[in-house]
Amino acid sequence: MSLTAATRSESTKTFTTAMWWILALVLVVYVAMTAGGLGFVFGASATGHLPTGASGAHIPKAGLAPVLYSIASSIGYVFPLLIGTLMVTAEFRHKTLTPTFLATPRRGLVLGAKVVVGIGIGVLYAVLAIIAAVGPAAGFLAGFGVNTELDAADTWAMLGRIVIAFALWVLVGIGVGALVRNQVAAVVIVLAFTQFIEPLGRVAGSLVKGLGDVMQYLPGAASDALVGQSVFTSFGGAGGGAVVQLDWWVGGVVLLGYAVVLIILGHLLSWRRDVS
């Protein structure tokens, strides 16, 4: 079987299930509500419409729009990571790998097809997340008379990097799924790391001298660096500490490195093992 045929097969398996569109729907709602809420609060704060003493009362107008648009990736990245993980672990859980490997004995080809399909899903999720973030955020900013910066090349470059980040996150998820066969365990690991372990590490990095130099190489930090903006880092670290961040292209290389290493390890340590 060729890569084209294997990719067609993987596309069918992915898009004939409900999981991909359920995650996409939750992604859109989550990002839109967050971007809309923060767009209102930040827009009102930057123009002096919040009561005196309200938190964020000194948020500047300049550069506010890209920070809000980056919500698409800074909170939405977990969804492409999850779908990438589920693309692989669902095969183990529902035991569909046996007929897949019988039809396509070249296991590396099957994994490569998942990578191709995963990149496509990452691009789709990125477009949905960008629309969900930019729409309400730009609407509130325009309502408060704050520049939406949609006519700036830098804004569109940042949105393009969000697309790249989402595609890379799907690949990271595929690597995790190939390495950790159990679906429940893989999802727990993904959620625990992204929602608990890394955020604590990054907060500690902004407070402890020298630790930030290490924390900037974590996958979430690398993703934020690739995008170039993040609502979590744009106004300073926790407690006012400095936020250390990689150059955007270095962040991309680091995130790609995580994806490549995990996929290779998954292929060598788990993917080639016998399946029932």
pLDDT digits (tens, 9 = 90+) for 88-118: 999 988 888 888 888 888 889 999 999 999 9
User: 274 or 191: which carries more pLDDT confidence?
Assistant: 191
Provide the terminal-to-terminal Cα distance of the chain, rounded to the nearest Å: 22
The whole-model pTM stands at 0.93
Tokens standing for 105?
């004995």
CA angle 194, 196, 202 (to 5 degrees): 80
Q: Please give the pLDDT value at position 222.
A: 97
Query: What's the mean per-residue pLDDT of the chain?
Result: 90
Q: Using alpha carbons only, how large is the chain's radius of gyration in Å?
A: 20
| Selection from 190, 199, 192 nearest residue 224 by Cα | 199
Mean pLDDT of all residues in 226-239:
75
Tokens standing for 198?
């890394």
| Selection from 170, 155, 194 nearest residue 115 by Cα | 170
> What does the alpha-carbon distance between residue 91 and residue 72 come to, in Å, rounded to a whole number?
29
| DSSP tag of 237 | S
User: 62 or 211: which carries more pLDDT confidence?
Assistant: 211
CA angle 190, 30, 161 (to 5 degrees): 70
Tell me: pLDDT of 132 over 80: yes
Residue pLDDT, tens place only, 141-168: 999 999 999 999 999 999 999 999 999 9
**Under a CB-based contact definition with an 8 Å cutoff, are residues 164 and 72 in contact?**
no
Q: Please give the pLDDT value at position 10.
A: 93
Neighbours of 163 (CB within 10 A): 20
Mean pLDDT of all residues in 69-98:
94
| Selection from 84, 94, 74, 79 nearest residue 34 by Cα | 74
> What does the alpha-carbon distance between residue 40 and residue 213 come to, in Å, rounded to a whole number?
34
**Under a CB-based contact definition with an 8 Å cutoff, are residues 158 and 58 in contact?**
no
Residue pLDDT, tens place only, 22-67: 999 999 999 999 999 999 999 998 888 776 554 444 567 778 999 9
Half-sphere exposure (Cβ direction) of 180: Cα atoms closer than 13 Å: 17
Neighbours of 82 (CB within 10 A): 24
